[in-house]
Chains A and B, each alone.
Chain A
């Protein structure tokens, strides 16, 4: 089996323990996934459905493991050598998510620009922005709109993202409660909704950690109080994280 990255004289602690466990899980899960993928064609027709369900469940477990890894990574500060410009990453993420927005009949519009950089690897910044903006898109009604306003002031850069609906904590709680109710236990669709809401919350937590670990601040809109006002989130990147003074 794989060698442990830790010496025996210093037992791993906290996140390291979790990291090692996740690392160890990845090996048998790879075997399980590959085995099911290769079996699906060989299985007799009456067994194919069972293999397909097993494969789907395995992929769900893998998705959860992936999120746990991302969360662990987000807890640790990125290497200082990395510095990623916010505006190009924003534009690229919006481009990637535009077809998802179109499928949901939600308009995405980016206004403004900035020169700020964030001290995280590009892939991590893009992941955080994808999670935030994808969640905003998914929360909007058909025909809705998500406005992304990017600007720069004396204190630093600000990204303000507004939609008709924000990240409403009450919605999440309602989903969880409905999923644990007796009716929901008989309703697989309800359980799926709860699972999706959990995934969404974890993705938002990862996005928050990535950005906060990099010194930025992220505030979610208070849509629960003002239903008529636009809601969403505000990301602030202080000047000290911006480009070096010339």
Chain B
């Protein structure tokens, strides 16, 4: 996929480019609003990652111009503004997603994939990682043909891991997406639920699919390499 990053901070745009290129995307960078708008209009991108505070033309103006000419181009906004009113303004102006700084690259990468998937593919009702299958409609899970009983929260956690198979997920990302909380409680609830899942999904099966990534969080590994 071809992605345009419009971000004036050279260090940040360089890290984003490096990370997205490592995920096999073709990445262009524009350092100011006019340049970003011109590139987005001229070339055929699959996603634009757009900072709000830009020299020249600001991000919201770029977004509004894009919406007039390229209504279906997915745009993810990056901003340091976190208030609800700011989010509403961005979404009302046509943004598809909104990420508040200081964000995690892993979060940006996951959201970029979701936007690219949404614009290119119909939503999958059955997720598969090796011999593990999750049916989102029937709410059923099976591994190697054997039915696995999961609670609602375990199901949501497994679905999130499978949707992001092969990607590293931080505990903060998991707690935000699965529990809808923006803070980590002292309960280590993510670790506890990962253990519950491992007992049901990995114990008695080979290879193990849920891996701990030291210092980061967890990863569902489609290759089944040892953790």
Q: Given A73-B83, A124-B84, decide whether A26 and B185 contact each other with a Cβ distance below 8 A.
A: no
What would 29 A/B residue contacts be, using CB atoms closer than 8 Å? A22-B80, A26-B101, A26-B102, A27-B12, A27-B80, A30-B102, A30-B103, A33-B105, A34-B12, A34-B15, A37-B168, A38-B19, A38-B22, A38-B105, A40-B216, A49-B214, A52-B214, A63-B183, A66-B82, A66-B182, A73-B83, A82-B84, A100-B185, A100-B187, A100-B189, A130-B183, A131-B183, A134-B183, A138-B185
- CB-defined contacts of B15 to chain A, threshold 8 Å: 31, 34-35, 38
- CB-defined contacts of A2 to chain B, threshold 8 Å: 8, 53-54, 80
> Chain B residue with minimal CB distance to A70?
B82
B53 A3 Cβ-Cβ under 8 A: yes
User: Closest Cβ of chain A: how far from B42's Cβ, in Å?
Assistant: 25
Q: Which of B8, B102, B193 has the most CB of A within 10 A?
A: B102
A65 B102 Cβ-Cβ under 8 A: yes
Chain A contacts with B in 1-53, Cβ cutoff 8 A: 1-3, 22-23, 25-35, 37-38, 40, 48-49, 51-53
A37 B216 Cβ-Cβ under 8 A: yes
- CB-defined contacts of B172 to chain A, threshold 8 Å: 59
B216 A52 Cβ-Cβ under 8 A: yes
Q: Determine if A153 is an interface residue (Cβ-Cβ < 8 Å).
A: no
- CB-defined contacts of B104 to chain A, threshold 8 Å: 33-34, 37
Q: Determine if B225 is an interface residue (Cβ-Cβ < 8 Å).
A: no
Using an 8 Å CB-CB cutoff, how does the interface string of A128-147 with B read, 1 for contact, 0 for none? Answer: 00110010011000000000
Interface residues on A, range: 35 or more
Q: How far is the CA of A135 from the CA of B84 in the complex (A)?
A: 24
Q: Determine if B18 is an interface residue (Cβ-Cβ < 8 Å).
A: yes
Q: How far is the CA of A228 from the CA of B55 in the complex (A)?
A: 62
Q: Determine if A104 is an interface residue (Cβ-Cβ < 8 Å).
A: yes
B80 A99 Cβ-Cβ under 8 A: no
Using an 8 Å CB-CB cutoff, how does the interface string of B68-105 with A read, 1 for contact, 0 for none? Answer: 00000000000011111100000000000000111111
Q: A26-B101, A53-B215, A65-B102 are in contact. List 8 more A-B contacts (CB 8 A).
A: A33-B105, A34-B104, A66-B182, A100-B187, A103-B188, A103-B192, A103-B193, A137-B185
Q: Determine if A180 is an interface residue (Cβ-Cβ < 8 Å).
A: no
- CB-defined contacts of A23 to chain B, threshold 8 Å: 80-81
Q: Which of A30, A52, A69 has the most CB of B within 10 A?
A: A30
Using an 8 Å CB-CB cutoff, how does the interface string of A81-103 with B read, 1 for contact, 0 for none? Answer: 01000000000000011011001
Chain A contacts with B in 153-209, Cβ cutoff 8 A: 196, 199, 203
Q: Determine if A127 is an interface residue (Cβ-Cβ < 8 Å).
A: yes
Q: Given A38-B18, A51-B215, A121-B84, decide whether A134 and B106 contact each other with a Cβ distance below 8 A.
A: no
Q: Determine if A56 is an interface residue (Cβ-Cβ < 8 Å).
A: yes
Interface residues in B, total, Cβ within 8 A: 47
Which 10 pairs from chain A and chain B are nearest by CB?
Answer: A52-B215, A2-B53, A29-B102, A26-B101, A34-B105, A121-B84, A26-B80, A30-B102, A34-B15, A31-B11
- CB-defined contacts of A103 to chain B, threshold 8 Å: 187-189, 192-193
- CB-defined contacts of A196 to chain B, threshold 8 Å: 186
Q: Determine if A79 is an interface residue (Cβ-Cβ < 8 Å).
A: yes
Q: Determine if A226 is an interface residue (Cβ-Cβ < 8 Å).
A: no
Q: Determine if B202 is an interface residue (Cβ-Cβ < 8 Å).
A: no
Q: Determine if A211 is an interface residue (Cβ-Cβ < 8 Å).
A: no
- CB-defined contacts of B3 to chain A, threshold 8 Å: none
Using an 8 Å CB-CB cutoff, how does the interface string of B6-33 with A read, 1 for contact, 0 for none? Answer: 0011011001101100100000000000
Q: Given A2-B8, A59-B172, decide whether A134 and B185 contact each other with a Cβ distance below 8 A.
A: yes
Q: How far is the CA of A66 from the CA of B103 in the complex (A)?
A: 11
Q: Determine if A235 is an interface residue (Cβ-Cβ < 8 Å).
A: no
Partner of A29, one of B83, B101, B170: B101
User: Closest Cβ of chain B: how far from A135's Cβ, in Å?
Assistant: 9
Partner of A33, one of B82, B102, B179, B193: B102
Chain B contacts with A in 171-215, Cβ cutoff 8 A: 172, 179-189, 192-193, 214-215
Q: How far is the CA of A38 from the CA of B172 in the complex (A)?
A: 17
B215 A55 Cβ-Cβ under 8 A: yes
Q: Given A3-B58, A37-B106, A37-B216, decide whether A96 and B85 contact each other with a Cβ distance below 8 A.
A: no
Q: How far is the CA of A187 from the CA of B187 in the complex (A)?
A: 21
Q: How far is the CA of A62 from the CA of B104 in the complex (A)?
A: 10
